[in-house]
Amino acid sequence: MTAPNSANIDTLNWVGDIDGHLRMIDQTLLPVEFLRIDLRDVETVWEAIKMLRVRGAPAIGIAAAYGVCVGVQNAVDGSVEGFFSRLNEVADYLASSRPTAVNLFWALERMRKTAELLRNASSPRDIAAALLAEARVIHEEDRRMCRAMGRHGAALLEDGQGVLTHCNAGGLATADYGTALAVFFAAAESGKRLHVYADETRPLLQGARLTAWELQQRGIEVTVICDSMAAQVMREGRIQAVVTGADRIAANGDAANKIGTYGVAVAAAAHDIPFYVAAPSSTFDLSLASGDLIPIEQRDPREITHGFGRQTAPDGVDVYNPAFDVTPARLIKSLICEHGLIEPVTTEEVARVLSLGPEST
């Protein structure tokens, strides 16, 4: 399938009614091939999340919510007890796909609560309809949060600036036009010209494959660099701000994001460049006091030793492959969420801003 000319990527969507299915872009094929795939059972949704066919914390949460809808389809004509047994089985299974992105668990818990409210008053088919409605609400909420983050973050950037980002936090990672990339898109829509430097983001190259593709689709000037070039590009004066996304943010503002983000933050601090993190309120995990408590996913060593099908390390060598690292709050100038800016990044300010309405700051 040919990639869309429209700036609206539509990363994933539901097709049909309660007996329908989830459709998404297979991001593992980009930028060479644009393909939408249909997921008709919970096993394929789990595999899509695990294998990064869908990735980015908000998009993972949305996919999981729709995954629940797919997973309970074979229980809608049975007993209420059987339906809830299947619901819990499906939610637990989806929760095992990836450990770091808190949106996954947040969305699954919302789906469980939606069903529980109807346990004694509705048939399994009616509960399934309510679950689909809730998944669509989660999807639409993320669209609105993306736009709000873009507006708040765009005000931090000036016309003509060079900005750096790591991994992919655009429309492919969300329901609309992203978290970190939303800031760039909103700035461009307001008339500001930006030059974005996109780290390759090793070992799976989400920056080179996905971020560069999205920015090209929207006509924003983008230059891809190796991860190890970021400090030198900063030293040369090409970068005036850094904006990344996050997969989980602790109560004190420590932020987990794709491996390599912490190094970018350290380099930015060394060059007096502001480092911003954009993420919706659903990415905050206030149950964790600090980033030391964020679980870090360990991925297949072959992503490093045999990246994209070519062996690049000797047989039998030890490999350490954490998917994420944690940037401490002290290195983050502002957290950008749909409620506004969290600055300074402290436990107290995180709690205060998250308690506000979307347009209160």
Cα–Cα distance measured from residue 137 to residue 132, given in angstroms and rounded to the nearest whole number: 9
Cα–Cα distance measured from residue 65 to residue 60, given in angstroms and rounded to the nearest whole number: 9
Between 1.10.510.10, 3.40.50.10470, 3.40.190.10, 2.60.200.20, what CATH number should domain 156-354 receive?
3.40.50.10470
Match 């644009």 to its residue by tokens. 34
Q: Which residues are paired to 359 by β-bridges? A: none
Cα–Cα distance measured from residue 302 to residue 313, given in angstroms and rounded to the nearest whole number: 9
297 burial via Cβ count (<10 Å: 0-12, 13-18, 19+): middle
Contacts of 42 (CB under 8 A, 6+ apart): 67, 68, 70, 71, 90, 93, 94
User: With contact defined as beta carbons under 8 Å apart, do 45 and 67 qualify?
Assistant: yes
Amino acid 1: pLDDT: 45
pTM of the model: 0.92
Cα–Cα distance measured from residue 350 to residue 348, given in angstroms and rounded to the nearest whole number: 5
Cα–Cα distance measured from residue 189 to residue 12, given in angstroms and rounded to the nearest whole number: 24
Domain spans in the chain, listed from the N-terminal domain onward: 12-145, 156-354
Cα–Cα distance measured from residue 149 to residue 68, given in angstroms and rounded to the nearest whole number: 28
Cα–Cα distance measured from residue 179 to residue 172, given in angstroms and rounded to the nearest whole number: 10
**pLDDT (tens digit per residue) in 223-261:** 999 999 999 999 999 999 999 999 999 999 999 999 999
Amino acid 65: pLDDT: 98
Query: Closest Cα partner for 41 from 63, 73, 12?
Result: 73
Contacts of 88 (CB under 8 A, 6+ apart): 112
Cα–Cα distance measured from residue 357 to residue 361, given in angstroms and rounded to the nearest whole number: 8
Residue 212 pLDDT > 70, yes or no? Answer: yes
**pLDDT (tens digit per residue) in 148-195:** 999 999 999 999 999 999 999 999 999 888 999 999 999 999 999 999
126-145 burial: b if 16+ Cβ within 10 Å, else e = ebbbbbbebbbebbebbeeb
**pLDDT (tens digit per residue) in 59-103:** 999 999 999 999 999 999 999 999 999 999 999 999 999 999 899
Distance of CA 131 to the CA centre of its chain: 22
The answer to whether domain 12-145 has CATH 2.60.40.10 is no
Sheet of 12-15: strands edge to edge? 12-15, 21-25, 36-39
**pLDDT (tens digit per residue) in 300-327:** 999 999 999 899 999 999 999 999 999 9
Pairing outcome for strands 255-258 and 162-165: unpaired
Cα–Cα distance measured from residue 62 to residue 174, given in angstroms and rounded to the nearest whole number: 8
Amino acid 101: pLDDT: 87
Stated as kind and residue range, the H or E segment containing 148 is helix 124-154
Query: Closest Cα partner for 278 from 361, 124, 168, 123?
Result: 168
The H-assigned helical ranges of 25-118 are 42-50, 57-71, 80-95, 102-116
User: With contact defined as beta carbons under 8 Å apart, do 249 and 256 qualify?
Assistant: yes
Q: Hey, which residues are catalytic here?
A: 247
Half-sphere exposure of 109 (CA within 13 A, CB side): 6
Cα–Cα distance measured from residue 34 to residue 32, given in angstroms and rounded to the nearest whole number: 7
